[in-house]
Each structure stands twice: as structure tokens, then as C-alpha cells.
């Protein structure tokens, strides 16, 4: 394909995303995208309810696809490829996107391609106003994943380090829950931290001096629980803000130090940060300051593309096709992979 349109669908968890990307020479161009977040629906339960998530994806995906096509001034016949998230994620939610994508492709007689959710996040900064260039180190901080990867080209990913227990996003969310904050916990904790003193509580920085590039945040969560129990149920708002700020500072320090160590170990001078935690302003400010001091560059997705979205899936599919790494399917049989390590992508795609 020399010039083609990719319709991307994302339904791995609690956001339904659809986008249309045009690809040809150079970086693919985002023509239109639409997103529906289920945050309000899941807030009453304090977290994602998989069955409710799947049912809501069913309701949303077709109207969102129609909205995207209308925004782009295109009709279904113009689509050359339908891409969807194959994994990782919630099995039922993934099946909705896979089923709709394959049914739509079959009806149009167009090929279909299942994509890796984390590859979408990893490549999403290519849609930003300041896209990176290969090679680079990627810090993936999305949901239950915290990983450092060396990225030499599309499809060429080498794992440098990863979390051995709780991920950074889980540390944010679980700490927020301990502080009595609402869902989603990470953004709520970051907002509360703005009025807090980050030095008020001495919290651990697990594996900060481990000599490797792995992460561990379970011990930090336990330390936050201990502090909450010490403070008691009548804790004032300032003390909660101080604990939120101290928690955020601990997570960010570990992420920054490990990311800088990965750059130093690889000899690279370019870092890409992707995933929901990448929207954290304190993390961005800390990474930017550290990189400036060393003459390195940091690249992020646009803020609205940090969370799960269809644009990253359409983009990743287009870039794989451009690189000659993808063989679109025309038999329309599909499966999903709720657990799918990114470093196994080439063997399994």
C-alpha cells in the first residue's frame, strides 16, 4: 500500500476509542478520532467492572466509528484496513473490539489486523507535534505495566527492565484508594498532591539503588497504608495532601532515576514516555529538567493521547505496514490475548 486509510479500534479496558489515520510516505497522519470514557460508570464501584465495560463497548463502538468517518469526510468504502486491539487487556472487552472490527472488515471485503496495545502506546508520540526519531529508550507506564524498552525501529523492541510486582499506575491508584480518593485514583492523587508538601513523609523508593532497571512499587503501597493507619480516620486535609505529594514524589523519583539509568546504559540520548502515567505533570517536569541538564530529549504523546485511544492503534498498524512487518488477515478468524508481553510480539503477531 502506498497511500491508505486505517480505521483503528481500541477496547482493551474502560475506554472505547476509534480513529482514522492516513498513511503513505513519512509519519501517518491522524484524520479524526473519537473516544468514550467509562470513568463515570465505573466510579460507583471504585474500579473497572469487566462485564459492564464489555457491554458499554458494544453500545459505543459503532456510533464512534460513524462519528470519526463523518469528521474525516470519508465513508466506509474508503477504508483500506481495519485495525483493532488484540491484547493485552480484559478478555471480554477485547472480544468486542475484535468482533466488531472483523465483522466490519468482512462486510467491506477489506483486510483486518490485530494490534498490541502497548505497541500502540509506545508509538503514540509519533502523532505529537514533536515526534521522536529511532533509536530511543521508551518508558511505558500504562495501567498494570511499567517497563523500560530499547526501541531501534518499529517492531524492534528489547526489554531493559520491568516491574516485579505493582506497576506505577497501580501504586498511584492503590495509594489513592487508601487516602479515600475517588476513581480513577491516579489523577485524583495528583490533584491532591498539588497542595501538599512532598517532604512531609519519608517513604521508600524500592529498587532505586538495585543496580538494574527493574521496578517495584508494592513496598511503597504498604508504606502508604502504614502512614494512613498512623494518621487515623480523622486525618486533616493538609495531612492527606502531604501524604499524596510524598507518594507521588516517591513514584516519580524512581521512574526518573531508572529512565536516566537506561539512557546512560544504552548510550542513547532520546527518551519516549508513553501510557496514562505519562500525563502526570510532576513526572513530565522532573524528566524534562533532568534531560535538559544532560543535553537529552524527552518525547511524550499529546496529553489527550496518553490514555487508551483508537489513534494509537491505527497509527501502530499503519507503521507496521509501512515497515513491512504486518500481514493483514482476510479470513476474519480472530482471537484475543489478555496477557501478551510486548517482547513476545514478533514471535506471536
Tens-digit pLDDT profile for residues 266-295: 999 999 999 999 999 999 999 999 999 999
The domains located in the chain, with CATH, are: 4-123+306-348 (3.30.420.40), 134-300 (3.30.420.40)
Task: Report the alpha-carbon distance of residue 219 to residue 225 in Å, rounded.
Answer: 10
* E strand residue ranges, 143-287: 145-153, 156-162, 270-274
pLDDT at site 348: 47
- Distance CA(291)–CA(300), nearest Å, equals 13
What band does 1 get if pLDDT is binned at 50, 70 and 90?
low
Bond from prior residue into 135 cis (ω within 30 degrees of 0): yes
Q: Are 256 and 145 in contact (CB under 8 A)?
A: no
245 pLDDT more than 90 = yes
Give yes or no for a contact between 101 and 84, defined as CB atoms under 8 angstroms apart: yes
Q: Quick check: bond before 224 cis, omega within 30?
A: no
Region 124-143: mean pLDDT is 95
pLDDT band at residue 166, thresholds of 50, 70 and 90?
very high
Q: What is the pLDDT of residue 233?
A: 85
Alpha-carbon distances, residue 185 vs 1, 17, 64, 176, 198 (angstroms): 43, 21, 27, 5, 18
C-alpha 109/C-alpha 111 separation (Å) is 7
Q: Take residue 69 and report the three cell numbers written for it.
A: 468517518
DSSP string for residues in 158-187? EEEEEBSSS-HHHHHHHHHHHTT--SSHHH
What is the percent of the chain with per-residue pLDDT over 70, rounded to a whole number? 99
Q: For the sheet with 156-162, list strands across it.
A: 156-162, 145-153, 136-142, 270-274, 297-299
Question: Collapsing DSSP states into helix, strand and coil, what is residue 114?
Answer: strand
* Cα–Cα distance measured from residue 26 to residue 98, given in angstroms and rounded to the nearest whole number: 28
* 345/293 Cα distance (integer angstroms): 35
Which residues, 6+ apart, have CB-to-CB distance to 340 below 8 Å? 86, 87, 88, 116, 117, 348
pLDDT value, residue 345? 81
Cell of 164: 516485579
Instruction: Compute the residue count for the chain.
Output: 349
* pLDDT score at 346: 63
Start-to-end CA span in the chain (Å): 20
- Do 272 and 139 contact (CB within 8 A), yes or no? yes
Bridge partners for 82 per DSSP = 7, 112
Q: What is the dihedral sign for C-alpha 195, 197, 198, 200? A: negative
Average pLDDT over residues 107-113: 97
Could you tell me the three cell numbers for 162? 520491568
Matching residue, cell 477489506: 110
Amino acid at each position: 500500500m502506498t497511500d491508505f486509510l486505517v480505521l483503528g479500534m481500541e477496547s482493551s479496558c474502560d475506554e472505547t476509542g476509534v480513529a482514522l489515520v492516513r498513511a503513505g510516505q513519512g509519519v501517518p497522519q491522524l484524520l479524526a478520532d473519537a473516544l468514550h470514557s467509562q470513568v463515570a460508570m465505573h466510579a460507583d464501584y471504585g474500579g473497572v467492572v469487566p462485564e459492564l465495560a464489555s457491554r458499554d463497548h458494544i453500545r459505543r463502538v459503532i456510533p464512534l466509528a460513524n462519528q470519526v468517518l463523518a469528521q474525516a469526510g470519508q465513508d466506509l468504502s474508503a477504508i483500506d484496513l481495519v485495525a483493532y486491539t488484540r491484547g493485552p487487556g480484559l478478555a471480554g472487552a477485547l472480544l468486542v473490539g475484535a468482533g466488531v472490527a472483523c465483522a466490519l472488515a468482512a462486510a467491506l471485503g477489506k483486510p483486518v489486523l490485530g494490534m498490541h496495545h502497548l505497541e500502540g502506546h509506545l508509538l503514540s508520540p509519533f502523532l505529537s507535534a514533536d515526534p521522536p526519531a529511532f533509536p530511543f529508550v521508551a518508558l511505558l507506564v500504562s495501567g498494570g505495566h511499567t517497563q523500560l524498552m530499547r526501541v531501534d525501529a518499529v517492531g524492534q523492541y528489547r526489554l531493559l527492565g520491568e516491574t516485579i510486582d505493582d506497576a506505577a499506575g497501580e501504586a498511584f491508584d492503590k495509594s489513592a484508594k487508601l487516602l479515600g480518593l475517588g476513581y480513577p485514583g491516579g489523577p485524583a492523587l495528583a490533584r491532591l498532591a498539588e497542595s501538599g508538601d512532598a517532604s512531609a513523609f519519608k517513604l521508600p523508593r524500592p529498587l532505586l539503588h538495585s543496580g538494574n532497571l527493574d521496578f517495584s512499587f508494592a513496598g511503597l503501597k504498604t508504606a502508604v497504608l502504614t502512614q494512613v493507619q498512623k494518621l487515623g480516620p480523622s486525618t486533616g486535609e493538609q495531612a492527606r495532601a502531604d501524604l499524596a505529594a510524598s507518594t507521588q514524589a516517591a513514584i516519580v523519583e524512581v521512574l526518573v532515576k531508572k529512565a536516566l539509568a537506561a539512557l546512560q546504559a544504552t548510550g542513547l540520548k532520546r527518551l519516549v514516555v508513553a501510557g496514562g502515567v505519562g500525563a502526570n505533570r510532576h513526572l513530565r517536569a522532573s524528566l524534562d529538567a533532568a534531560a535538559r541538564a544532560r543535553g537529552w530529549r524527552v518525547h511524550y504523546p499529546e496529553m489527550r493521547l496518553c490514555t487508551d485511544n483508537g489513534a494509537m492503534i491505527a497509527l501502530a498498524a499503519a507503521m507496521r505496514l509501512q515497515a513491512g512487518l504486518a500481514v493483514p488477515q482476510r479470513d476474519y478468524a480472530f482471537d484475543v490475548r489478555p496477557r501478551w508481553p510486548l517482547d513476545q510480539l514478533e514471535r506471536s503477531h
